[in-house]
Structure 1
């Protein structure tokens, strides 16, 4: 029996192909080649592309839950943790989100959109619980979306995003939102 790590390496390769080249390029053969396994080795773990897609969606749920758990355990509070995490790109959560987004955009995997929606709603719920203020929670979520968009898309030269926030700007935004939270009586 192949080691369990082969399964994760195959899933890693699948996610990278989805993000970098799109769903159509992520064929079983291409995934096997990218993972450094035979097609038979891939099929041992995933009997079809549909099983790969289901595993990527499952991984997104798992990684998002782990990140939310870590965020709520941090002493800095959910505002700071959430906004600092929003500017991170290339980490496991970013890769999982990008992969499932590629599945959703392909139109072939209807289970992708509800999965993405559930992850985003989970973040809003985490913020609402942590802050005790649903309006402030949505404000922080939208700010986080904008910070992520700037971090993820500004490097391509297309000019479609606000430049990423500098460390000082991020510190100042966090402080401003924390001041607003204090004014609103949130726990932030």
Structure 2
């Protein structure tokens, strides 16, 4: 199997995840900023591999499969790190609930897209603007929270901004999930025969 440049970038993004986890926990000055830089680098490869695939027509079945998997791994792993470092009290509960909503939505939408693809209706649940907005808000929030996860007194206000942005991302996550569900609902609510006719 030939692996093209966009797919190599996606594989590189996956390889950055354990690096970010290790750096996140290493006890050296600036480890939080270093972990954030690794996260941003992974996010940049997410944009770059898609751009190159479209611009240079370098698409592949393996790349199409791996890219969304890498994206969801990146977000889920980062959320787990932040939840683990944010224990205790209502802020910790809010962080855990928001993380659960985001991860749950990603799993649900992935399953929905897979099912819609099986019946030939994949385009019905293509990425919408609200989904892209959710992703941008989510990435910004995660970068802020990685940098400030130690919650030093002088940085607490910025940390709270990161928390607020993540909650907003969680709301957008629910909104975008409902958008995809609404688009797919005619197929989901149809009986087997109707679904088969829709696919044809």
What TM-score do the two structures reach when normalised by structure 2? 0.34
What TM-score do the two structures reach when normalised by structure 1? 0.36
